[in-house]
Copies of this chain bind each other. A is one copy, B any other.
Amino acid sequence: MSAVNAVDSLPERIVRAAVKLFAGKGFHGTSMRAIAGAAGVSIGAIYHHFSSKDDVFLAILRQEYERRRVAVEELRAQGLPPREMVQRVARLHFELLGRHQDSVKILSHTLPREHPRLHRQLQALEEEFAGHVARLLEEGMRAGEIRECHAWTAAHALLGMARAVTARALGDDKLATELRQRGPEELAELAWRGLRP
C-alpha cells in the first residue's frame, strides 16, 4: 500500500483527474463530484487536501507554469546562440503539447475571468513567464544578436503566436494535422526573422 501511494498519492490522483476534466469540459463544466468520481475518492477527501475548487485549479496552473519556467531555465543554462533560443521558445508550446496535451488545453482555452482571485493569479503566472522570455530577448539585444525592440511586446507576441497556433492544432481536422507538422518550423522561422538584427 505504501508503495502504491508513493507513486500515486491522493493529491496527485485528484490533480490528474481534475486536469482531464477541466481540459475536456472547462472549469464550470466540471463539478467537484465529477472530480471525486474520476479520481476514485470521496468529496471530503478533496477538501482535505485542497481548500476549494479554485485551489485545485490553481494547483494545475502552478504545475504547468513550473514546467515552462524549468524549460526556459534549461534553455538559458545551455548558453545557446540567440537564434536558436528564439526558435526554441517559439517551439516550446508544441513540445509541451506533445507531452501534456490536457494541461495545454487548459491554458489555451480557460481563462476564468469570473473568479477574480483565480484570474489575478493566472495573470501573475503568465506575467512571470513572459518576463523570463523578455529577459532572454534583452540579453540577446545587449549582445547585438537580436534587433533592438520592445522586449515585453516581443515576448507577449512570441507566446501569443505560439499559443494561437497550438490551440488551432489541437483539433483533428486536416488543418490541425498540417499545423502539428509544419507549425513548429514555421513559427520558429517567423519568430527569428521578426527578431534578428
Q: Which residues of A contact B (CB under 8 A)?
A: 24-30, 108-115, 130, 147, 149-150, 152-154, 156-165, 167-168, 175, 178-179, 182-183, 186-187, 189-191, 193-196
> What residues of chain B lie closer than 8 Å to A113, measured between beta carbons?
24-26, 29, 109-110
- A196 CB, nearest partner CB in chain B, Å: 8
**For the complex, what is the distance from the CA of A115 to the CA of B162, rounded to whole Å?**
25
Query: Is B110 within 8 A of A149, CB to CB?
Result: no
CA–CA, A112 to B25, complex, Å?
A: 9
Contact (Cβ within 8 A) B154 A26: no
Q: Which residue of B lies closest to A23 (CB)?
A: B113
**25 residue pairs bridging A and B, Cβ less than 8 Å apart:** A25-B113, A25-B114, A27-B114, A29-B113, A30-B114, A109-B111, A109-B113, A110-B111, A130-B168, A149-B186, A152-B175, A152-B178, A152-B179, A153-B165, A156-B164, A157-B162, A157-B186, A159-B164, A160-B161, A161-B161, A161-B164, A163-B164, A189-B194, A193-B193, A193-B194
Name the B residues within 8 Å of A195 (CB-CB). Answer: 190, 193
